[in-house]
Amino acid sequence: MQLATAPDPIALLETMLRIPSYSGQEGELARYLAQAMQALGLRSHIDEAGNAVGERGEGPVQVVLLGHMDTVPGAIPVRREDDLLYGRGAVDAKGPLAAFIMAAAAVEVPERCRLTVIGATEEEAATSKGARFALLSHSPAAVVIGEPSGWEHVTVGYKGRLLIGYRLEREARHSARDDASVIEEAIGFWGWLKGLAEAYNSGRERRFDCLDCAIREMVSGSDGLHEHVRMELALRLPPGFQVESFQQAARQMAGAAQVEFSGLEQAYRADKGNAVARALVRGIRLAGGEPRFSVKTGTSDMNVVGPAWGCPIAAYGPGDAELDHTPHEHISLTEYRRAIEVLRRALQLLLAELAA
């Protein structure tokens, strides 16, 4: 079923926010976006990973706009308050993806070029299913990642990530005994990790260069015969961090506990003088803004595709990243419109450069 009319920018984003799309549950939103992109003049389909894909042009020189459809859990009622639009994903990252779609529909694509918008699946799930499938099915000359940067900022780097699962179970012991409980041993492991991060970070001034660690979850209990504890930990990795050496040390420190590692992504930083970054900077200036570069302490699909594709890359999108994953997530519609204009101008410049 096709949409009767092409959506305007606000209607597109508001409809996207009204369709829940938690990681692994993006199907309904993918179907809507395929219809919306078709109505806006893009050839569209849903690929084998569930990504919503729209294209303009048929040339061999491809520019990919890679955003993501999924969000973290937590329903936020969709509502307008003056210039602000509230809803889960308004910032991370339906706002940037909607801006990609509207800008892609507005640019003129040279004969030698092809512009591809991808609304990827499972970016928030640490699996990056959609981006990993895109690695196999696209070979772009340039990539823009859809993440909130603020309309005057261009993001050129993201820290890496490593998730740690800590498990310890043993026979129950009387609390009067001198030896540590499983909870105390888990706390000891956490203290070691914090101490390691503090030592690593000594003398490093920029947070992008530091090792960050956090407890995501801790659960303990006993059935009277056995006691157990489980911790879920997350590391944010700076460039150059030696992961294998850390894993060996962590296993040794854990002793009898089981330690499992997952979700590894290495930090990635692009050259801020690359063609995509230059085009975005010029687009911001042409739209009346003052461009600035930034690096982020989180991760994105740039960590996945940047090293593999090895082409010019940067991240851009409207929204305040401080609102990511919060119960107050909202986006300024004025900023959203400005970002669309920046992208339109930047893509026109980038496509012309690549076509030449």
Instruction: Encode 121-156: b = buried (16+ Cβ within 10 Å), e = exposed.
Output: bbbbeebbbbbbbbeeebebbbbbbbbbbbbbbbbb
Eight-state DSSP code of residue 6: P
Active-site option among 14, 26, 55, 70: 70
Q: Reply yes or no on whether 341 is catalytic.
A: no
Sign, CA dihedral 116-50-41-334, equals negative
Active-site option among 55, 123, 124, 185: 123
- Distance between CA atoms of residues 157 and 212, nearest Å: 16
Q: Are the C-beta atoms of residues 111 and 61 closer than 8 Å to each other?
A: no
Q: Reply yes or no on whether 123 is catalytic.
A: yes
Closest CA to 313 of 166, 169, 161, 143: 143
Measure CA of the first residue to CA of the last residue in the chain; give whole Å: 39
Q: Which amino acid, 293? A: F
Closest CA to 54 of 92, 105, 11, 2: 105
Burial of 172 from C-beta contacts in 10 A (0-12 / 13-18 / 19+): middle
Which residues touch 3 (CB under 8 Å, ≥6 apart)? 35, 36, 38, 39
Closest CA to 311 of 66, 46, 128: 66
3-class DSSP assignment, residue 330: strand
The CA distances from residue 4 to 34, 40, 46, in Å, are 14, 11, 20
Residue positions annotated with a catalytic role: 70, 123
